Amino acid sequence: MFIERNRELRKKERDTAQYIKAYMKNIRARYNVELQYHDNVGIFVNDYRLGPVLLDYYAHNNEFCKYVKSDKACCNKCYASKGRIAERAARLKQPFYGRCHMGMEEYIFPVMIKRQVIGYFTVGEFYSDREKADAFIKECAAQTKLEIETLIEKSHSASRVVDFDIDELVVDMSILTYCIAEYASDNVSIEEEQKQESDQQSRNYVVDTAKEYIFANYNKDVTLDAIARACFCNSSYLSYIFKKKTGMKVSEYINSFRINRAKFYLSISDFTITQISEKVGFNDSGYFSRVFKKSTGISPDAFRKSEKHRVLADGK
């Protein structure tokens, strides 16, 4: 019996990213909250194990926030608000409670490596006083093209009072942020200049909107013109500001993100190379293989074999 059970344990892949994924799911269910992760060091694009896991939490998905972002001016303020939160997290280097520019309240939990904030989680959405929250939203809405009654209705459905033990949430979030920091310290290249550049990006409406569009549409035929339309600018300006802020052309960023997603599928699935190439937005599997090899130095098949070897080695 003991031999059999130990064999079962050895078969289990020790994949920290998947443990983090399960833990985030448990936190959401236990406290009935939404998590959102702000990435300061490029984990979304550069790490194929944890990146796809955290990417599912890159934006607020409640109806209130979606409605707010439908207004360009409000969306711009959202990104500016992210920048201010990142600055405050970097300064305080500890959890805090705050309110966004449209009145939603949430907890912020920084993720740190050696006192450097590499990202942060928001946990929400809440209100402390409904009457005051509604008044604040009405005041904000008066400066936008959004309908006040719709904003109020959506805010009521998206937020609630804190009705759980905050000490328990702090413990769970501390474990989560510690696990991510430990993983990142071993697997992600973190430089101070990367963090500073990322903070600048978080305050740029065009760059962040372009990234959101790419994250949502990478598996389709993504064109520069389509991204520019989503950013309410022309393609020339998009190309200029994106390269200035990220150091990469838009096409390079798209391919980098697609290759990262392909690595994820190669490591966790039995999809064929053709199926994976289609899933990440390449219509030609041959072209996909060439781009993959140019990016990684090895073919998709070789990468898959190396991943299987890693899993077997970890399972011993």
Looking at the domain assignment, is residue 70 inside a domain?
Answer: yes
- Provide the pLDDT for residue 140: 86
Looking at the domain assignment, is residue 243 inside a domain?
Answer: no
Instruction: Give the rounded percent of residues in the chain with a pLDDT score beyond 90.
Output: 56
- Provide the pLDDT for residue 18: 87
pLDDT digits (tens, 9 = 90+) for 99-119: 988 999 999 999 999 888 999
Q: Please tell me what DSSP assigns to residue 269.
A: -
Q: What is the mean pLDDT of the chain?
A: 87
Who wins on pLDDT, 24 or 61? 24
Distance in angstroms between the alpha carbons of the first and the last residue of the chain: 19
* pLDDT > 80? residue 308: no
Residues 195 and 255 reside in one and the same domain: no
SS3 223: coil
Which residue, 170, 203, 236, sits at the end of a domain? 203
Range of the domain at 286: 248-315
SS3 231: coil
- Provide the pLDDT for residue 290: 95
Looking at the domain assignment, is residue 9 inside a domain?
Answer: yes
Number of structural domains (the chain) is: 2
Looking at the domain assignment, is residue 208 inside a domain?
Answer: no
Residues 161 and 297 reside in one and the same domain: no
Within 10 angstroms of residue 9's Cβ, the number of other Cβ atoms is 10
Residues 177 and 283 reside in one and the same domain: no
Looking at the domain assignment, is residue 226 inside a domain?
Answer: no
- Provide the pLDDT for residue 74: 84
| β 96-99/34-39 pair status | unpaired
Compute the average pLDDT of residues 172-182.
96
DSSP string for 78-90? HHHHHHHHHHHHH
Each as own residue / partner, the long-range contacts of residues 266-275 (CB below 8 Å, 24 or more positions apart, any chain) are: 266/300, 266/303, 266/304, 266/307, 267/48, 267/49, 267/304, 267/307, 273/300, 273/301
**Lowest pLDDT segment from 10-24, 140-154, 166-180, 267-281:** 10-24
Looking at the domain assignment, is residue 222 inside a domain?
Answer: no
Which residue, 203, 232, 262, sits at the end of a domain? 203
- Provide the pLDDT for residue 87: 87
- Provide the pLDDT for residue 11: 52
Residues 285 and 197 reside in one and the same domain: no
Residues 176 and 278 reside in one and the same domain: no
- Provide the pLDDT for residue 72: 79
Reading the block at residue 13, the tokens are 């892949």
- Provide the pLDDT for residue 177: 97
Residues 167 and 252 reside in one and the same domain: no
Residues 141 and 277 reside in one and the same domain: no
* pLDDT > 80? residue 302: yes
- Provide the pLDDT for residue 190: 60
Residues 107 and 32 reside in one and the same domain: yes
Q: What gap in Å lies between CA 264 and CA 53, rounded to an integer?
A: 10
How confident is residue 21, by pLDDT bands cut at 50, 70 and 90? very high
Looking at the domain assignment, is residue 242 inside a domain?
Answer: no
**Lowest pLDDT segment from 6-15, 44-53, 126-135, 226-235:** 6-15
* pLDDT > 90? residue 291: yes
- Cβ contacts of residue 33 below 8 Å, gap of 6+? 27, 123, 124
- Provide the pLDDT for residue 20: 94
Residues 170 and 285 reside in one and the same domain: no
- Provide the pLDDT for residue 9: 60
Looking at the domain assignment, is residue 181 inside a domain?
Answer: yes
Q: What is the CATH number of the domain that holds 274?
A: 1.10.10.60
Q: What gap in Å lies between CA 171 and CA 179, rounded to an integer?
A: 12
How confident is residue 216, by pLDDT bands cut at 50, 70 and 90? confident
Residues 107 and 163 reside in one and the same domain: yes
How confident is residue 7, by pLDDT bands cut at 50, 70 and 90? low
Residues 22 and 168 reside in one and the same domain: yes
Residues 73 and 137 reside in one and the same domain: yes
Compute the average pLDDT of residues 266-285.
93
